[in-house]
Structure 1
Amino acid sequence: MKQDAIRLVSKCERCQKHSSLIHQPTEPLTTMLSPCPFIQWGMDIVGHFSLATGQRKFLLVAIDYFTKWVEAEPLACIIEGEVMKFIWKNIVCYFGVPREIISDNGRQFQERKIQEWCQGMRIEQRFTTVAHLQGNGQVEVTNRILIQGIKRRLERVGGNWAEELTSVLWAYRTTPRGSTGETPFSLVYGTEAIIPAELGIPSHRVMNFSEECNENLLRENLDLIEKLREKAFLRVQRYKNIMISSYNRRVKSRSFQVGDLVLRRADALKSIGKLDPTWEGPYKITSIIGQEGPVSNVHNICKDHQITGANPLLRSSEGSSTHRGHPPDQAF
């Protein structure tokens, strides 16, 4: 009787639609590792902010996946022309033509004009999964750090957020990152920047400054920059291996087949209220995009919807339950 009760409850459609999201990962973590500086950049647009001078209310952010160097610029409008101008001015003219740029599926990155421009520059565009921010996790983490920095400066000194952006970027670039153990500034230029704190409380290199000694030290640092970058690369590898090991211990694989009935996350494409169902549907999977054959965590095309988070729907009528077992958390 107990097992019958469990089966009955597990197939209650209303219970499934109001069930909580399960955050247990469904497939092993996949990380991106850039082998050298300035060939792989992540880009994202943040906004809306409060209006700044020049009607600027968006922030375009780019980060180099190797050095963690960040470029950011406040914008009044986010059209493909502004994105192209940013890539040219802030990336190409300073660091050379990148091999690939990773971004979300926003129109600013997918318009024909920018795609043709990137093809002409031999820049490969890679797009993350719809409604799956973790696909470009590095730039998403950077966005949070920049926003926190802007908030703190505005609370302390007041003023315009766009004007405070330069100071926040400076702080980010001269702070050691946990994954590399080095500052982005040192991985780009081969030496550490002199920060204002070293002038208030003079450091050894400030107190004993010598033009000849400084020039020799800079030359030496430039000779050693490749070793510094190699050391940072090995540290990133170790850091990612630890992260992968910790993440994968929580993985519980799930897969969908063509013909399965699934419920989609109700908040995937719209906001929902506190009392609204967590899941909506059911939808029937008509095709699977991904590797050959049914695989876990792939785009599931159900009717006319692109499913980016799904649960199998269990029904009480025999033969209608298309996927047995415990519900997974998300298709991505």
Structure 2
Amino acid sequence: MVAVDYFTKWIEAEPMATITAERVKRFIWKKIICRFGLPAKIVSDNDTQFASSATAKFCQDLHIRQSFTSVEHPQANGQAEAANRIILRGLRRRLEEVKGRWAEELPQVLWSYHTTPHSTTGETPFRLTYGSEAVIPVEIGEPSPKTTLFEPTANEDELRANLDLLQETREIAHIKEYAVKMRMARKYDRRVAYRDFQEGDLVLRKTTLGAEKNKLTPKWEGPFRIAEKTDRGAYRLEHLEGQRIPRTWNVSSLRSYKTQNGQPKKPIRGSKIEATRPKTDDPRDRSGVRRLKLQDPKRTAQETDPGSED
């Protein structure tokens, strides 16, 4: 299990055979709260161990806000995904020597990361967390300013000065991080078309269940209605009958539900949904969309009533 602080980039990790709600609570208490204090907010994915009532009550009792990422969109929790890649990359380099004992090497991998300057802040996670740089083992055999210029009598004053400058150091790191994010955002916006939906719009949702196992599974399903847009840019969906769908969905997993002439379809009041399988001999069904036919109950009643011809 991995947790990362969004600003300092400090990573906490613990090897677990299986992650349960009880282990999640114990991890948060032991690795985060008892060492760094209560966090204001915890962002996690939608797995049951994080979204369980036990975890929710634990966070609620400690006044910790819970926020969940969109389904099938790990980029929404990019910091944790990046932390996972860093840990895996560090462990791979050591696996040949330790022969599979990766759990024993995890603390060394984290220590190496914590004492290395981060590309976005320009500072080490250790300094942004504790206010001064750590003396690493390599500095014992190889002289460095931290060891050669060390004065025991002036050490207390140096530490106090470091703590006084810590807030300024963090502000500079925040400015650097913001500048990096803005450059990345501009680069992303240049190559990605912006999409936005409003409440009431009809959309198709990317198929997630069975799509990887069966290549013939339709890539999109729906339509669904946009019920709400969250503050994180994700969307809550509902069936056309009004029943809400659990979890949120990122815009990358949605697309507008349009007619054959390319115009967005508008919802039909009181419409019913009838699922139909795509026909391979119909060119309109080659898009890989699981088509759902909308039926207006009033129009259907008129077509089936013999007296409607009069």
- TM score, norm. by length of structure 1: 0.69
User: Which residue, out of 260, 273, 279, partners 2:219?
Assistant: 279
- Superposition deviation, residue 231 in structure 1: 1.1
**After the TM superposition, which residues 144-293 of structure 1 pair with which residues of structure 2 at under 5 Å, given as runs?**
144-255=85-196, 258=200, 260=202, 262=204, 264-266=205-207, 268-273=208-213, 275-276=215-216, 279-281=219-221, 283-290=222-229
Change (3 A) 1:275 1:291: closer
How far apart in 2 are the matches of 1:298 and 1:185?
A: 37
CA distance in 2, matches of 1:188, 1:115: 27
What SS does the aligned partner of 1:74 have? Answer: coil
3-state DSSP class of the match of 2:14? strand
The answer as to 2:235 corresponding to 1:298 is yes
Which residue matches 1:10? none
Give the superposition deviation at 1:314.
5.5
SS at match of 1:78: coil
Please tell me the residue identity of whatever aligns with 2:72: A
Partner of 1:65: 6
| Cα gap change, 1:313 to 1:277, in 2 (>3 Å) | farther
Check 1:219–1:130 CA distance in 2 against 1; reply closer, same or farther (3 A cut). same
Q: 2:277 — aligned with what?
A: none
The Cα shift of 1:197 comes to: 1.8
Shift in Å, 1:261: 6.1
In 2, are the aligned partners of 1:255 and 1:297 still within 8 Å (CA)?
no
- Residues 1:320 and 1:237: Cα distance change in structure 2 (over 3 Å): closer
SS of 1:209 mapped into structure 2: coil
Query: CA-atom RMSD, angstroms?
Result: 2.9
8 A Cα contact 2:211 2:219, kept in partner = no
Partner SS, residue 227 of structure 2? strand
Deviation for aligned residue 1:65? 0.9
The aligned amino acid for 2:114 is R
Q: How many residues align?
A: 258
Counterpart CA distance in 1 for 2:197 and 2:161 is 57
2:291 aligns to what? none
Instruction: Find the aligned partners of 1:286 and 1:275 in 2 and give their Cα distance.
Output: 27
Q: Deviations over 1:131-175 (max 9, x none)?
A: 111111111111111111111111244341111100110011111
Cα distance in structure 2, aligned partners of 1:220 and 1:321: 62
Instruction: Give the Cα separation in 2 of the matches to 1:96 and 1:238.
Output: 29
What secondary structure, in the 3-state scheme, does the structure 2 residue paired with 1:215 have? helix
Q: Counterpart of 1:125?
A: 66
Q: Which runs of 5+ in 1 are unaligned?
A: 1-59, 328-332
* d(CA) in 2 for partners of 1:77, 1:150: 19
- Residue 322 of structure 1 is matched in structure 2 by 265
Q: Percent identity?
A: 41
Unaligned runs of 5+ in 2: 267-286, 288-310
Q: Which residue of 2 aligns with 1:89?
A: 30
Q: Please report the TM-score for the alignment, with normalisation by the length of structure 2.
A: 0.73
Question: Equivalent residue of 2:225, what SS?
Answer: strand
- Tell me: CA distance 1:219–1:100, structure 2 relative to 1, closer, same or farther (3 Å): same
Conserved? CA contact 1:63–1:70, under 8 Å? yes
**Per-residue deviation, residues 107-142 of structure 1 (Å, max 9, x unmatched):** 111211221121111101111111111111111111
